[in-house]
Chains A and B, each alone.
Chain A
Amino acid sequence: MNTRQLNTVWAILLVATLATWTIGEVGEHLGIAGPPAMLTLLAISFVKGRLVVLDFMGLRGVKFFWRGLVIGWLLLVSALIAIAYWIALK
């Protein structure tokens, strides 16, 4: 990663954080609440986490096994959170 690419990732992460914060502050007024808000928040955190894993941790060019383990963790945790949220709705 060169400095320009790292700065781009940094900027995306900041914008994504702003999006998460906005959903927390005014999500209900924007019509983003309940399950759609939950799914949006998980999607944002997945995008952020994936960028950190690939570009900051430097796993982008590495054998799939390692990327799979860490991104797989992110997917598994997101899935468990979504399942627990769904159970809570019932």
Chain B
Amino acid sequence: MDAASVPAPASPGPATAPPGDLAIWFFILAELLAFGVFFAAYAFARAHNVALFDTMQQTLDRQAGALNTVLLISGSACVARAVEAVGRARSATGARWLLAGIACGAGFLVVKGVEYAAKFEAGINLSTNTFYMFYLSLTFFHFMHVILGMVILVALWVKTRQGAYGPADMNGIESGAAYWHMVDLVWIVLFPLVYVMR
């Protein structure tokens, strides 16, 4: 269906659907639901083990957590700039911003990897205690989402370099970008909850 055959809305108002494919938004909502349950489970588990959670939280690397927040926020900003550039038919600029977003994601994985290595070296694992069971499973669940987000960004980068997207065809890049922003959004809640709040 081309644009001309779409009936004009009865009254000018906001767009009815979010950017990108509608399906990605159902996927994002499902992901948010899963993370939401995880966050609530963490918070209520803490309510019954306050001393343990507050003591164990002090053993986390808060600097690494903060650095990773900066990396994800910056990665998200880079991808938003990429979408903006592609929307102005600047594919080459868009591809560069996507590459910067991928670099931020890679930086996140390296920092988190170093954090995990330090914990495993200290003999910490899923059965160490309730706090670490939550810390490891929650952050690793998120870690896997960062990896998937990066796979999507690489696919977008390849296609953007080929000029596959443009002002008339934003669906693919907007859908992939929305997923990446979701990964950032989840970390924005996770960092204060797990690393800071006590």
Contacts and interface: CB of A to CB of B under 8 A. Distances in A.
Real complex partners, A and B? Answer: yes
A7 B178 CA distance: 18
Contact of A49 (B33, B50, B185): B185
B142 interface: no
A41 B17 contact: no
Interface in B40-98: 40, 43-44, 46-48, 50, 62, 66, 69-70, 73-74, 76-77, 79-81, 83-84
Interface in B166-198: 174, 177-178, 181-182, 184-185, 188-189, 191-193, 195-198
Contacts of A38: 197
Contacts of B43: 80-81, 83-85
Interface string B23-52: 001001100110010011001101110100
Interface of B: 13-19, 25, 28-29, 32-33, 36, 39-40, 43-44, 46-48, 50, 62, 66, 69-70, 73-74, 76-77, 79-81, 83-84, 174, 177-178, 181-182, 184-185, 188-189, 191-193, 195-198
20 contacts: A10-B73, A14-B70, A21-B69, A24-B66, A24-B196, A37-B197, A41-B196, A41-B197, A45-B192, A45-B193, A52-B188, A57-B181, A57-B185, A59-B18, A62-B16, A62-B18, A66-B17, A73-B29, A73-B36, A85-B47
